[in-house]
Structure 1
Amino acid sequence: MEVKEEESSGTPLELFLKIGLDERTARNTIANNKVTNNLTAVIHEAGVTEGCNRTIGNLLYTVATKYPANAVIHRPTLLGYIVSTKIKTPAQLEAAFSFLSSTASESFELKEFEEACGVGVDVSEEDIEQAVNEVFKQNKGSILELRYRINVGDLFGHVRKRLPWADPRIVKKLIDAKLYELLGERTAADNEKPSKQKKEKPAKVEDKKVADENPVQPAEDLNPFLIFPNPEENFKVHTEVFFSNRPVLRCCNTKEVLDKHLKRTSGKVYTRFPPEPNGYLHIGHAKAMFVSFGLAKERGGCCYLRYDDTNPEAEKKEYIDHIEEIVEWMGWKPFKITYTSDYFQELYELAVELIRRGHAYVDHQTPEEIKEYREKKMDSPWRDRPISESLELFEEMRRGMIEEGKATLRMKQDMQSDNGNMYDLIAYRIKFTPHPHSGDKWCIYPSYDYAHCIVDSLEDITHSGI
């Protein structure tokens, strides 16, 4: 189908059609911002912005949707193998994903990679035909009984076990030909669905009652913590950050950093139950306790009770005491009780470092102006002020020289993003209110958005639950 000029010129749609995607797939893709950004980046990395054949294009699409992000450093290498047709089948690509996911950001020998992916292994049509004949010989009875109602996928799978790098198109062609050779023309009966055999009723009512009383439960129901990975699998953890004006940022710790983390934790699970001490606990907190304390207990790990006390105006010693009492009443025992305010100095120093690197700025907009500018996707007029000026003003904020409500520290993110969480979130604000835990040492306080994830890192949290 011809693409309209206004849609095609320089658009992702045109780019996706050039690599051989059918128009329906291409249009579905551009409806998903994440896949669109990934596929666009993959096409540019592969150097095929002017187009390629459909086989390569389909493999590139699979890379964009399934590539292990913890090994993104090796993606250009894989794309080189695809474009040069050294990797040319879905089976080879899946093997590459498995190899690279285990390798993560570590270097590897190309020879090992090629062996794992079947690079250079040429499977002839004669080899495939021989494998198909063997599979048909072993399954002849079932094929003659079921005829064209046989599960062709099973036959395909048996051939793939013998020849994992065989071209699937040739495999299908030869299986279809062999079926025709053995069975002849398809009949009307071959198109009928096989009749379902009626299940025999249990002989005794008592037997059914026992079965109902003891149903087989899925493993996840018996142990809801099975879904959580072990700490040593942390190399698979990654975060993708999408920007409106630059490539996707993929955050992944180095092996050295992860190894040091595992050494500090002795490979144990570390979780936290982090309520804000600004009210009484409710049923949602009970669920959060079960996940955090329960996972740590099930894995022989540790769970902090951490008070996320970043808002001194709403927090009281009464709530702190109540929370500790309820946690104990629920039967949980914290590994350690901490406060976000224990880390105020570290959080402050990291905020200064953000400013120095050009990633944060002191802003003077009112809450109403911030809301308006976010709705209009407009930058604050103070966003691009000199770094030295923001450093000086932030120090004045810390020393109590600026009135409450007259300045905040905001993180530079992406005001043009479709994600509202990217609209330059506030990291620090001024509050001349004594803190129930840290007293009157500070008059600037970090926001929950800024502090929560940083303290998780400082406390070596391995699993961030609810």
Structure 2
Amino acid sequence: MQKLQTTQIVDLFLRIGLDAKTANNTVANNKVTANLTAVIKEAAVTGDGCSKAVGNLLYTVATKFPANALVHRPTLLEFIVSNKIKSPAQLEAAHAYLGRLGSENLQLNEFEEACGVGVEVSLEEIEYTVSMVFEEKRDAILEMRYRVNVGELFARIFATHPWADARFERTAADNEKPIKKKKEKKLSKEDVKVIAVQTPEEEVNPFTIFPGPEENTKVHTEILFSNRPVLRASNTKEMLKKHMEMTGGRVFTRFPPEPNGYLHIGHAKAMFINFGLAKERGGCCNLRYDDTNPDAEKKEYIDHIREIVQWMGWEPFKITYTSDYFHVLYELAVELIKKGHAYVDHQSAEEIKVSSENKRNSPWRDRPIEESLKLFNDMRMGLIEENKATLRMKQDMQSDNFNMYDLIAYRIKFTPHPRAGDEWCIYPSYDYAHCIVDSLENITHSLCTLEFETRRASYYWLLDALSRYQPYVWEYSRLNITNTVMSKRNWFTATGVSATAINTFIRGVGITRSDNSTIRLDRLEYHIREDLNKTAARQMVVLHPLKVVITNLDDKTVLNLDAKKWPDAQTDDASAIYKVPFTNVVYIERSDFRAKDSKDYYGLAPGKSKQSDGETVMEIRAEYNLSNNTKPKGVLHWVSQPSPGVDPLRVEVRLFDKLFVSENPAELEEYLTDLNPESKEVIPEAFGVSSLRDAAVGDKFQFERLGYFAVDLDSTQEKLVFNRTVTLRDSYSKGGNKE
């Protein structure tokens, strides 16, 4: 067909109902333009065009039709043009059916049933189902109101009527005029902020986006080459059948950290997605140490990773190491050479960099296969020096994807391996080993962060070249949190954050592919508070003690009062009560006293006080008034001498705050200049109630009116150290400062 001019193509797209913006944007994409032009021609609507509804379906076919079933595309288009398939839901079902069918013969009756052809859902049926779903969820709707997960309600409706028109007609209830309400008081900035922070995360299943293992015959990706036809990577039915026999149809995932450092909270998302998907589907998740670099791996990191995985609440199906497969990987590399897909190269790292930048082949790229086999064996036997040879995959140096520039498969390193010892002096690269081990372990879903998206082509090219089973690959965005950087080593354990809070936070954030998603710190803190509010016992600590002498209480009197560890604790539950001594000397927060009283101040004010320098209050003298029935306007927390003349328990308290002033310090040229000077405050001589004396490392508490705290590792028998986990209320402002 003669090549159409751009204006003619735009006009063609406009005639099928696309708006001008979409039409012009489509023309800018050569691949979509070619597909859509072909679809319009096959549908025979090049002349007068078609309705917008039909045109939208044609556009979807052009962009999403399964490449392994192109032989059936004309049939699908006939169904669309004749209005037998007329909704996105029907088209999605058609694509799924044809993707599974591939190029095999199409049975029209099965196809029509799978796509809901001829099924009509009346408005009355829709209204009835809607009313049933709303009645079933009435209590939740009334309780959560606008926070209810509407998507879940729609899902229940469409489960009953999958072919219903999503654009519901207006019902009688919709058409009723709204009742006029009194104008509500405008929310203050603080009210709005609190609502935004404290709205619970909706209970959704983030794993519904992933297909089942039995669906893995679709085209994974199209690999474009500079000098040969497109490769549409997919499993054959025989491959999938063999895979399903080995796995029993279960989901298999893996969490594959490199044991070259400590984990950070970003790894928590990777754990949640991989272990979480396997758990949700009744499958298995391996903990695989990607130990291909003998220079970096340490047992310390291996132990740390295992500890953190366990702390996060995950139990691996198996613990494996890439080094477990070194022999298999080597044999497959030999096979790759024999097939003409790999060669031994002698370029230096700098020469490879220059040739890649210029899309230039290596001078050794086309050396004889037998020569590469001999040299690769020499590499294996230690007969070639480091940096004098590598094994490279013969991919496409002229590709538009730099991850197809003949990536290195093996390099020489005369370094003993922590597990394999000195058996090897050549080691596989990540790009070579990662995908093969996924296949060897029968991984169904290979899930990784978005920076690996450009590696899809290389991943599937290699598995296709070796005729290996191909897992389903999906990328997600990294977990970035404002006002911090990804810290490692002790994670949040030192400050008392629980795995439950982190996992709940990640579930609420969802599994998004948005690469610029940075989550506000207060969103994480909300989940931390929610968890600690249920699990942390209440206690009292005074950070900056101010002595109060109760003049009308005998100095030998010691009253042991009952205090609740939790607000809703029953008084007859001894485990929920702790004893607080009360004598004639108590200590309050210095900030809870003013020399001059005011109407809006609920702390301790006028009375008698001692002043050592005429300005600083050293001691307050007050009376204990039992006859006063006036309801107090506020409360104070306090710590008393446990017995006359004996100071309360002395503890060290560390107040942690945001590490950086800016929300995204990574954007700054010198992020160290953005450090928050108030990110850590140490109070060495705070007073705590006596019941804290037996606290152990890791124990968590809510210090009344102060926040949530955990016992630090630095604690000794002589002195406890408490780290603040989070404040009682959100102190996060939009600009990154405390309000």
Alignment TM-score, normalising by the size of structure 1:
0.68
> Is structure 2 residue 320 aligned with structure 1 residue 338?
yes
Change (3 A) 1:213 1:291: closer
Structure-1 residue corresponding to 2:552: none
Structure-1 residue corresponding to 2:700: none
Which residue identity is paired with 1:88? V
Which residue identity is paired with 1:336? K
Q: Pick one of 96, 99, 106 that aligns with 1:101.
A: 96
- Give 1:75 shift: 0.7
- After the TM superposition, which residues 176-255 of structure 1 pair with which residues of structure 2 at under 5 Å, given as runs? 197=178, 200=181, 218-220=202-204, 223-236=205-218, 238-255=220-237
What is the alpha-carbon root mean square deviation over aligned residues? 4.4
- Give 1:241 shift: 1.9
Structure-2 residue corresponding to 1:419: 401
Q: Which has the higher contact order (CA 8 A, sep 6+)?
A: 1
Change (3 A) 1:251 1:338: same
Unaligned 5+ runs, structure 2: 15-19, 124-160, 165-174, 185-194, 449-739
Provide the rounded CA distance (Å) in 2 between the counterparts of 1:363 and 1:279.
Answer: 31
More helix by share: 1
Structure-2 residue corresponding to 1:78: 73
Structure-1 residue corresponding to 2:62: 64
- After the TM superposition, which residues 354-369 of structure 1 pair with which residues of structure 2 at under 5 Å, given as runs? 354-369=336-351
| Secondary structure of residue in 2 paired with 1:21 | helix
- Give 1:366 shift: 1.2
Q: Pick one of 348, 364, 374 that aligns with 2:356.
A: 374
Provide the rounded CA distance (Å) in 1 between the counterparts of 2:9 and 2:210.
Answer: 39
User: Residues 215-267 of structure 1, C-alpha deviation per residue, up to 9 Å, x if partnerless?
Assistant: 685442xx333333333333456232233444432111122322322222222
Q: Pick one of 424, 443, 446 that aligns with 1:464.
A: 446
Q: Pick one of 105, 109, 112 that aligns with 1:112.
A: 109
Provide the rounded CA distance (Å) in 1 between the counterparts of 2:423 and 2:221.
Answer: 35
- Give 1:295 shift: 2.5
| Secondary structure of residue in 2 paired with 1:409 | strand
Change (3 A) 1:212 1:406: closer
- Give 1:66 shift: 2.0
Change (3 A) 1:96 1:436: same
Structure-1 residue corresponding to 2:437: 455
Provide the rounded CA distance (Å) in 2 between the counterparts of 1:63 and 1:245.
Answer: 28
User: Residues 122-156 of structure 1, C-alpha deviation per residue, up to 9 Å, x if partnerless?
Assistant: xxxxxxxxx9xx99xxxxxxxxxxxxxxxxxxxxx
- Give 1:452 shift: 0.8
Structure-1 residue corresponding to 2:578: none
Bigger mean CA deviation after superposition, 329-338 or 100-109: 100-109
Q: Pick one of 19, 28, 32 that aligns with 1:31.
A: 28
Change (3 A) 1:333 1:114: closer
Structure-2 residue corresponding to 1:440: 422
Provide the rounded CA distance (Å) in 2 between the counterparts of 1:81 and 1:29.
Answer: 22
| Secondary structure of residue in 1 paired with 2:12 | coil
Provide the rounded CA distance (Å) in 2 between the counterparts of 1:287 and 1:44.
Answer: 42
Provide the rounded CA distance (Å) in 1 between the counterparts of 2:196 and 2:296.
Answer: 51
Do the aligned residues in 1 keep the contact of 2:68 with 2:218 (CA within 8 Å)? no
Do the aligned residues in 1 keep the contact of 2:79 with 2:85 (CA within 8 Å)? no
Do the aligned residues in 1 keep the contact of 2:397 with 2:404 (CA within 8 Å)? yes
Provide the rounded CA distance (Å) in 2 between the counterparts of 1:199 and 1:305.
Answer: 59
Which residue identity is paired with 2:414? F
Do the aligned residues in 2 keep the contact of 1:271 with 1:296 (CA within 8 Å)? yes
Structure-2 residue corresponding to 1:408: 390
Provide the rounded CA distance (Å) in 1 between the counterparts of 2:76 and 2:11.
Answer: 16
Do the aligned residues in 2 keep the contact of 1:273 with 1:289 (CA within 8 Å)? yes
Change (3 A) 1:89 1:414: farther
Provide the rounded CA distance (Å) in 2 between the counterparts of 1:319 and 1:117.
Answer: 51
- Give 1:408 shift: 1.1
| Secondary structure of residue in 1 paired with 2:81 | coil
User: Residues 97-123 of structure 1, C-alpha deviation per residue, up to 9 Å, x if partnerless?
Assistant: 6335224245233543775699x99xx
- Give 1:301 shift: 2.0
Q: Pick one of 21, 24, 32 that aligns with 2:13.
A: 21
Question: What is the percent sequence identity of the aligned residues?
Answer: 58
Structure-1 residue corresponding to 2:288: 306
Alignment TM-score, normalising by the size of structure 2:
0.44
- Give 1:316 shift: 1.8
Provide the rounded CA distance (Å) in 1 between the counterparts of 2:246 and 2:358.
Answer: 46
Do the aligned residues in 2 keep the contact of 1:46 with 1:76 (CA within 8 Å)? no
Provide the rounded CA distance (Å) in 1 between the counterparts of 2:366 and 2:48.
Answer: 45
Provide the rounded CA distance (Å) in 2 between the counterparts of 1:113 and 1:55.
Answer: 30
| Secondary structure of residue in 1 paired with 2:286 | strand
Which residue identity is paired with 1:370? I
User: Residues 8-28 of structure 1, C-alpha deviation per residue, up to 9 Å, x if partnerless?
Assistant: x98786598299335865652
Which residue identity is paired with 1:320? I
Bigger mean CA deviation after superposition, 14-23 or 232-241: 14-23
Provide the rounded CA distance (Å) in 2 between the counterparts of 1:15 and 1:361.
Answer: 47
Provide the rounded CA distance (Å) in 2 between the counterparts of 1:16 and 1:349.
Answer: 55
Which residue identity is paired with 2:212? N
Provide the rounded CA distance (Å) in 2 between the counterparts of 1:197 and 1:318.
Answer: 65
- Give 1:434 shift: 0.7
Change (3 A) 1:289 1:114: closer
Bigger mean CA deviation after superposition, 291-300 or 433-442: 291-300
Question: Max radius of gyration: which structure?
Answer: 2
Change (3 A) 1:116 1:342: same
Bigger mean CA deviation after superposition, 373-382 or 89-98: 89-98
Change (3 A) 1:250 1:53: farther
Structure-1 residue corresponding to 2:373: 391
Provide the rounded CA distance (Å) in 2 between the counterparts of 1:100 and 1:112.
Answer: 16
More strand by share: 2
Do the aligned residues in 2 keep the contact of 1:21 with 1:54 (CA within 8 Å)? no
Provide the rounded CA distance (Å) in 1 between the counterparts of 2:11 and 2:114.
Answer: 23
Do the aligned residues in 1 keep the contact of 2:6 with 2:27 (CA within 8 Å)? no
Structure-1 residue corresponding to 2:249: 267
Structure-1 residue corresponding to 2:631: none
Change (3 A) 1:214 1:410: closer
| Secondary structure of residue in 2 paired with 1:338 | strand
Which residue identity is paired with 2:222? E
- Give 1:310 shift: 0.7
Bigger mean CA deviation after superposition, 332-341 or 20-29: 20-29
- Give 1:313 shift: 1.1
Provide the rounded CA distance (Å) in 2 between the counterparts of 1:418 and 1:65.
Answer: 21
> Is structure 2 residue 277 aligned with structure 1 residue 295?
yes
- Give 1:45 shift: 9.8
- Give 1:31 shift: 3.2
Do the aligned residues in 1 keep the contact of 2:26 with 2:32 (CA within 8 Å)? no
Q: How many residues align?
A: 379
Which residue identity is paired with 2:73? L
